[in-house]
Amino acid sequence: MIELFFDPTLQTVAMGTAAIGAMAGFIGTFAVIRRQSLQGDAISHAALPGLAAAFLLGARSPVVLVLGAALAGWVAMALVGAFSLSRRLTFDAALGGTLAVFFGIGLALLTYIKKHVRGAAEHGLERYLFGQAATLRESDLWAVLAVAGVAVAVVLALWKQFQLLSFDPDFAAVQGWRVRGLDWLLTALIVLTVVIGLQAVGVVLMSSLLVAPAVAAKQWQHRLGPLSALAAVFGAFAGFAGTIGSHLLSEEGRTVPTGPMIVISATAIVGVSILWALVRPRLVRKAVRST
Amino acid sequence: MILFPHLGPELNETVYLMAAVAAACAVPGVFLVLRRMVLVGDAISHVLLLGIVLAYFVVKDAASPLLFFGAAAVGVLTVALVEGLQRTKLLKEDAAIGLVFPFLFSLGTLLASMYLRNTHLDVDRVLLGSAELAFRDRLTVGGRDLGPRAFVLLGGTFVVFVLLIALFYKELKLCTFDPGLAAVLGFLPAVVHYALMTSVSLATVAAFDAVGPVLVLAFFAVPPVMARLLTKRLVWMLVLSVILAVTAAVTGTLLAIELDITIAGTVAGVLGAMFAVVYLFAPRAGVLAEMIRRVRMWREFHETLLTVHLHRHAGTPAEAEESRVDGLHEHLNWTEPQTAAVVRRAVANGLMVRAGDCWKLTDTGRKRAEEIVGPRLGERGASAP
């Protein structure tokens, strides 16, 4: 048990997933407050064709692949925004339809690559589907930290604007802020977070990392500052605990995937938080009655 | 029966199978779209993996029909869980969905990868579906081959859906468009709601083998959305959804076979392409139709404004100046080319005529102006009947 923490590979992976979790928790807070929790789900699915297209066009370096993924995710969100302006389309249908169509095209491209591009197998594009935290290297860790640093810096620099955008976009517009532009910037940050996390935790699970820490933090805090900070802490903890947990549960010949373990840890935090939020009012009432 | 002779019997069956997936998903999809519950469908389709795995633990038989109902039950339970979480008022619907389904999906993948290695339930295949292999799983009754299991299942589901809708059309319509009134009239919208959720779960499980949990969402959402852009009537929406979905499924499958790529993904891509066409060119709700309507409104508005201007000054001392042919744009504060264009259309539409250096309203033009500003002062008594 103790020697576990001195295994340098595991250390890197755990710190990487913790960093991804922290970033997702922090940025995800805004998505949850704006009732766009499922944005992450759509982006992570929609990123796939971008990844595959970048690969088909000859890109092999992870940075370019991730940029392709980000571009596709961002295009998908722009499309969803445009579709939901139409009077006969609703947001949920636009989001669900776009997500599935993009993902389908991505899968079609992936199978094409597998059959027609030589040497595609060793690049392991499929790890972006299911996520393989174990492939995180030290260089990946630095990349995650750098991107997270940029994202956090942007949010902090525009804190007031994002706060207003999250809680009262109409007032923000009346005040003369460029709500559209801010909205796109925030979406871009979410896209960035998702594509950075994709290869570690996979498509479906990335969306959970955006939502769960923020939902848990909301049960403890109401002010945006502490809320997003707490969400970051929860996200980091979920990433760390999930990695260690999957390592502990794995045995010879049976590996427990890391991504699902991270999601389960994150959901466990939410479960505790929600139980506390349900019990707390009763405790308070009891205390008031007894005084 | 072989509709595509160049493909051989197996691929023909694959084409029919995809058509059945499309038809069986399009029907409940219409109601998902109308009730704004597409993302609930997304959640249901993801958790079915857990349902299948759990049911497999119980019956230990990957071919058992109990797997089918076990999975569907988990889908309905998910909906109940999401609604229960919402009812605590601690989190909103989107967050509840975004929380519940990745969790249950994770449990599903975890259990599958830990305990079901090398069994019939292969994780990749379960996640992505494989229409290519689905025809191998046959349904035989008393030694007679009835066709691929998934096809029979989906065909059956589709027929049941159509019968149910025919029987309860009025109730479904009312509960979809006005659940409040439906409740007041005693139609039990909650029952209809859960019946719909069960249908969605059943359609998803039936389609699962062929298309997997993500792409099934394309079948639920895209055809009804296209139909919605083409019609406002529920019956036509249902019929069009099925037709469009089946068209996409057949085209996509043939294309995928041609290119040798994944069938389910290609069909989703074809659905996307069809949607793009409908979205742009739908006769009334399409982007192009909307643009044409805007231009028309813009033109009509400016013509009307012009008639109002001429009408206001008709018979006043300033009329000669205000309706001067070469000075009109200054009075209206428009640019010269714009004014010229508006005048040209107004003349063509018979709203005004040229009288020397001035423009004069015709009777039609006067009527148009009076629709907006009413008769001129002093003419009210005269024009009243």
**Could you give the ipTM of this predicted complex?**
0.86
Specify the pairing of strand B358-361 against strand B352-355. antiparallel
pLDDT at B383: 45
User: Average pLDDT, stretch A140-154?
Assistant: 89
Give the Cα separation of A228 and A184 in Å (integer): 20
Rounded (5°) CA angle B59-B76-B39: 125
Sort B238 into a burial class: Cβ within 10 Å, 0-12 / 13-18 / 19+. buried
pLDDT at A121: 63
Kindly report the nearest CA distance between residue A116 and chain B, in angstroms.
Answer: 10
Per DSSP, B286 falls in state S
Kindly report the nearest CA distance between residue B113 and chain A, in angstroms.
Answer: 7
Q: Taking CB atoms and an 8 Å limit, are B256 and A218 in contact across chains?
A: no
Task: Tell me the domain boundaries of chain A.
Answer: 3-290
* One-letter amino acid of A291: T
pLDDT at A281: 86
User: Which residues partner with B140 through β-bridges?
Assistant: B145
pLDDT at B384: 42
Q: Searching chain A, which residue's CA lies closest to the CA of residue B218? A: A100
Kindly report the nearest CA distance between residue B298 and chain A, in angstroms.
Answer: 20
pLDDT at B189: 82
Q: Which of A36, A108, A110 sits opposite B269 (nearest CB)?
A: A108
More confident residue, A102 or A119: A102
Contacts of A87 in chain B (CB under 8 A): 285
pLDDT at B125: 60
Kindly report the nearest CA distance between residue A198 and chain B, in angstroms.
Answer: 14
pLDDT at A1: 56
Give the Cα separation of A50 and A273 in Å (integer): 37
What are chain B's domains? 9-285 (1.10.3470.10), 292-374 (1.10.10.10)
Give the Cα separation of B13 and B132 in Å (integer): 10
User: pLDDT digit of tens for each residue in chain B (385 aa)?
Assistant: 677 777 777 788 888 889 999 999 999 999 999 988 898 888 888 888 888 888 888 887 766 777 778 888 888 888 888 888 888 888 888 888 888 888 998 888 888 777 766 554 455 566 666 767 777 777 777 677 777 877 888 888 899 999 999 988 988 888 888 888 888 888 888 888 888 888 888 888 888 777 877 788 999 999 999 999 999 999 999 999 999 999 999 999 999 988 888 888 899 999 999 999 999 999 888 899 999 999 999 999 999 998 998 888 888 888 888 888 888 888 888 888 888 899 899 999 888 888 888 888 898 888 888 888 877 665 554 444 4
**Polymer length of chain B:** 385
DSSP, collapsed to helix, strand or coil, labels residue B263 as helix
Q: Which of B98, B99, B128 sits opposite A107 (nearest CB)?
A: B128
Q: Taking CB atoms and an 8 Å limit, are B102 and A208 in contact across chains?
A: yes
pLDDT in tens, A157-210: 999 989 988 888 888 888 888 888 888 899 899 998 988 888 777 777 788 899
Query: Tokens at residue A250, please?
Result: 């794995």
User: Average pLDDT, stretch A254-278?
Assistant: 88
Question: What is the phi-psi region of residue A232: left when phi exceeds 0, alpha when psi lies from -120 to 50, beta otherwise?
Answer: alpha
Contacts of B266 in chain A (CB under 8 A): 104, 108
User: Which residues partner with B324 through β-bridges?
Assistant: B358
More confident residue, A214 or B374: A214
Q: Taking CB atoms and an 8 Å limit, are A260 and B285 in contact across chains?
A: no
Confidence of residue A73 (pLDDT cuts 50, 70, 90): very high
**Interface probe, candidates B21, B53, B94, chain A, greatest A C-beta count within 10 A:** B94
**Interface probe, candidates A107, A272, A276, chain B, greatest B C-beta count within 10 A:** A107
pLDDT at A110: 86
Please spell the DSSP secondary structure of A105-132, one letter per residue: HHHHHHHHHHHHSTT-GGG-TTHHHH--
Per DSSP, B284 falls in state T
Sort B362 into a burial class: Cβ within 10 Å, 0-12 / 13-18 / 19+. middle
Contacts of A86 in chain B (CB under 8 A): 229, 279, 285, 287
Q: Taking CB atoms and an 8 Å limit, are A89 and B225 in contact across chains?
A: yes
CATH superfamily of A3-290: ABC transporter involved in vitamin B12 uptake, BtuC (1.10.3470.10)
pLDDT in tens, A219-233: 998 899 999 999 999
Q: How many CB atoms lie within 10 A of CB B64?
A: 14
Residue in B209, B223, B259 with CA at minimum distance from that of residue B18: B209
Instruction: Assess contact for A11 and A134: CB atoms under 8 A.
Output: no
